[in-house]
Chains A and B, each alone.
Chain A
């Protein structure tokens, strides 16, 4: 197994499948009355969060605790970090405390890569800037597999602010590794220049959501921040919602079996309407539950739990 999980591209098809298979085994534990496994007893996992993300932090914390690891939550707010301590000094502190794994969330793209060069333990990227969020991609693939039975051969549309989305980058990389067909959809202003050659030669780009929907098995809606309109990425939230939002009318264009995903947090009324988010096609709550199993699998495999 690899040492760090910094990018979804760190996983080849074999390793990615191993993570998903392991997650499925561990999910069975979550159904038991006693949810704990002794696997990582005595190991220390640090959650180093430079951004507020209760959802992701709690998911990693639950994952580590169910594997009996000691968990230290190191939040940038109210710590020495807010007093101006550098990432490197923080890394050396964690190193001295004997962290076996550091789970890091950071607003700067590439911060986990830097961290990995300064600590001996494993580094797990829990979202860095506008770069990647590999465990989100893993839990999304896991969710697709549990709902649709496979990932290879699926057609997945990723819709919205691809330019600023770490979820999109990791998903394109992982899904293409696993043999899915991926189309990114959004206004041209929110699709990165050269995104195809950058992420996957097979990646498709479309600016027309209605044209794409009848052909997909999965539609993954990305969060679109209202503030983006201030930088002229689109004229107004109303126009964005009209052209790229998923509402009930649009949802009816999907094939019968197709599912609707969202990494959260949702901006209801922007990229997704409440009736879509709460529909039977929606996997949004499942995604959260699957997150714990997938992160257990990642920590277990990276820390050589076997």
Chain B
């Protein structure tokens, strides 16, 4: 527990009237005990529950040149996150209790955010045999989310079994919805821009068909389904139907799919190459509306660091993915406006609930864990790739000026970020 007591003065919790928050022994304490506390002037700042990212690639083990658990944790804390769910597509793949425990332990050692490993659904992400999901669930990492992200669990029978099997420990399958036969060789969204650029198209239907199938499977076996990085207007329609039918489905959207379109590919700069690809303005509008309405439950970054040589090359040879942890809150603020209760719901409370992270997603109020973020909503900042805490530089927002800056992040009473700088 923290030895330092902090008094955060004049902070607006979710945009409400300014108040003081006392941070002591890992909790928000009654203000009467403020004697001797270190004062943080939070005039004009907004307090949010610490953000929770359901979709982060930390690359360790295997690609420590692109990111490590520690560097990714630091980027997360600087972005206002207090918990991240680490995707399983590492090398070796996180498909055994041993690997998920290693990632979990590295997260604890870094101590900047809670790192919750996600387990692979199938051995080696190969889509052939179920990984030992139960062993990962009962490991020290207590895995509850399983995903082959980067690959779709495309075999319908295997997907059905996975959805069914994890019911035993209240698990959830997070599906990367991409019918692989429809996206062989795909490089970008299939449409006007791909036709002009001569890049193989990734049709929206490849995503929508899998979401529809999985929703029906989840309904049939009474299981929970989470849909990763929803990217098309048609997917929103499918989700609307599924939710109306009472299917236990949740869905995420990334900041980049809320902001950028396939027109970016015109530069052939692979910093804009991502999977699923950037879509059209029509899709962006549908995703924004769905997020506001709650048809899409959460924002998840799909933070995907890549080494320079994997991006400074021809579009077709580049790896897909982009950084997201340090820019997500600013982009959501830009997209949704300063609706702080909504932002807290989509970026903290609901992702914490889906992931089963009971320490997270709580409003900073007396008695709650002191796990929160202070944001300066008036600040504007220019994205500088070289200033990123990530080991990688593949941000698609380089040079853009974004609203809202994270000033401080607290994890169970410990500051991980103060004055906009990581504390370790």
Residues of A within 8 A of B (CB): 86-88, 106-111, 113-114, 128-132, 166, 169, 192-195, 197-199
Contacts and interface: CB of A to CB of B under 8 A. Distances in A.
A108 B314 contact: yes
Contacts of A194: 191-192, 195
B207 to A, nearest CB: 15
B198 A129 contact: yes
Interface of B: 187, 190-201, 203, 267-269, 309, 312-317
A199 to B, nearest CB: 6
B314 A193 contact: no
Q: Which 3 A-B pairs have the closest CB atoms?
A: A110-B268, A131-B198, A198-B195
B195 A193 contact: yes
Contacts of B269: 114
Contacts of A128: 198
Contacts of A114: 268-269, 313-315
A87 B313 contact: yes
Contact of A192 (B194, B309, B316): B194
A29 to B, nearest CB: 34
B136 to A, nearest CB: 37
Contacts of B192: 194, 197-198
Contacts of A113: 267-268
Contacts of A88: 312-313
A195 B268 contact: no
30 contacts: A86-B312, A86-B313, A87-B314, A88-B312, A88-B313, A108-B314, A108-B316, A108-B317, A109-B187, A109-B198, A109-B316, A110-B199, A110-B268, A110-B314, A111-B268, A111-B314, A129-B199, A130-B198, A131-B197, A166-B198, A192-B194, A192-B201, A193-B190, A193-B191, A193-B201, A193-B203, A198-B192, A198-B193, A198-B195, A198-B196
A114 B270 CA distance: 10
Contacts of B190: 193
Max chain B Cβ within 10 angstroms of own Cβ: one of A114, A128, A169, A195: A114
Given A113-B267, A193-B190, A199 B196 contact: yes
A169 B314 contact: no
A132 B196 CA distance: 9
B315 to A, nearest CB: 5
A114 B269 CA distance: 7
A132 B201 CA distance: 16
Contacts of B203: 193
Given A109-B316, A193-B194, 5 more contacts: A108-B314, A110-B268, A111-B268, A114-B268, A169-B198
Contacts of B316: 107-110, 129
B195 A109 contact: no
A88 B312 CA distance: 7
A97 B381 CA distance: 40
A166 B314 CA distance: 17
Max chain A Cβ within 10 angstroms of own Cβ: one of B192, B194, B200: B192
Contacts of B314: 87, 106, 108, 110-111, 114
A111 B268 CA distance: 8
B70 to A, nearest CB: 28
B237 to A, nearest CB: 19
A128 B267 CA distance: 14
Nearest to A169: B198
B191 A109 contact: no
Nearest to B203: A193
Nearest to A198: B195
A267 to B, nearest CB: 21
Contacts of B268: 109-111, 113-114
Contacts of B309: 86
Contacts of B313: 86-88, 114
B312 to A, nearest CB: 5
A144 to B, nearest CB: 23
Contacts of A195: 195
A199 B197 CA distance: 10
Contacts of A129: 198-199, 316
Nearest to A50: B314
Max chain A Cβ within 10 angstroms of own Cβ: one of B193, B197, B312, B315: B197
A88 B196 CA distance: 24
B199 A109 contact: yes
Contacts of A198: 191-196
Contacts of B193: 198
B143 to A, nearest CB: 37
A169 B199 CA distance: 12
Contacts of B267: 113
A5 B164 CA distance: 57
B280 to A, nearest CB: 10
A129 B196 CA distance: 12
B197 to A, nearest CB: 6
Contacts of B312: 86, 88
A306 B28 CA distance: 76
Max chain A Cβ within 10 angstroms of own Cβ: one of B199, B201, B309, B314: B314
Nearest to A106: B314
A97 B199 CA distance: 32
A110 B198 CA distance: 8
Nearest to A192: B195
A11 B406 CA distance: 47
B197 A109 contact: yes
A16 B268 CA distance: 24
A183 to B, nearest CB: 16
A107 B317 CA distance: 10
Nearest to B190: A193
B186 to A, nearest CB: 13
Given A86-B309, A193-B190, A193-B191, A109 B315 contact: yes
Given A113-B267, A113-B268, A193-B190, A108 B195 contact: no
Contacts of B200: 130
A114 B267 CA distance: 8
A31 B260 CA distance: 54
Contacts of A197: 192
